[in-house]
Amino acid sequence: MARVHSIKKSGQHLDISYVIHKKSVLDRSITLMYSTKNPDYYADFVGLSEHEIESEKEVLIKENDTTHSLLLLTAIEALIRLDADKKYCTKKKDDLSKRIKEIYDRTKGEKIKLDEDLINARLNEDSPETRKFYNNLKKCFKYRHWLAHGRYWDSTKVSIVNFDSILIITQSILALTNYDFET
């Protein structure tokens, strides 16, 4: 019998590889737009100095990194939540699946916390080599919270991370985990 508290999936979550590809495409597009290889370069930037053009390009590259950091973290959250749901629904007997079942039973599938419940379950059940990466991932999600809510408060309590560091943390977890992510 199927478990009753499973997620009603939308099928619209982003795949990590798609986010990586999309960021790369936009980085290259911005770089081309702000280079003399752009056929409209001189018309687009009339009246601007090379320094002003380069500064504008760097702002856009940084904002693209920030935007895609947010997208990457949402894709990672989807991966973690869908994996937990799959482990819960398939009634696996490994330690992580048992821990996830306890979380679902305690919460009745509602308001399962990403960091306190799901990431901590993996942190406690997975190999010791992954612990520092899970802890770093939790810091990344604090950054995501700051980004998603408008960046309007002082970020001194939030570790500012970039796309590449989030990707390295994620790839390290995926490479080192004892529990494959299932979706």
Quote the mean pLDDT of the chain: 92
> How sure is the predictor about 4, in pLDDT bands with cuts at 50, 70 and 90?
low
Per-residue pLDDT tens over the stretch 88-130: 998 889 999 999 999 999 988 788 999 999 999 999 999 999 9
Per-residue pLDDT tens over the stretch 72-92: 999 999 999 999 999 999 888
In order of 65, 70, 84, 120, 153, the CA distances from 133 in angstroms are 21, 18, 18, 12, 26
pLDDT, position 1:
47
Per-residue pLDDT tens over the stretch 28-73: 999 999 999 999 999 999 999 999 999 999 999 999 999 999 999 9
State the DSSP string of 21-81. Answer: HHHHHHHHHHHHHTSTTSTTHHHHTTT--HHHHHHHHHHHHHHHHHHHHHHHHHHHHHHHH
Q: Which has the closest alpha carbon to 76: 175, 179, 170?
A: 170
Domain boundaries, the chain: 16-176
Q: Is residue 108 packed enough to be buried (19+ CB in 10 Å), middle (13-18) or exposed (0-12)? A: exposed
pTM to 2 decimal places? 0.90
Q: Of 81-85, 152-156, 157-161, which one has max mean pLDDT?
A: 81-85
What is the rounded distance in angstroms from the CA atom of residue 166 to the CA atom of residue 177?
16
Structure tokens at 67: 């935007």
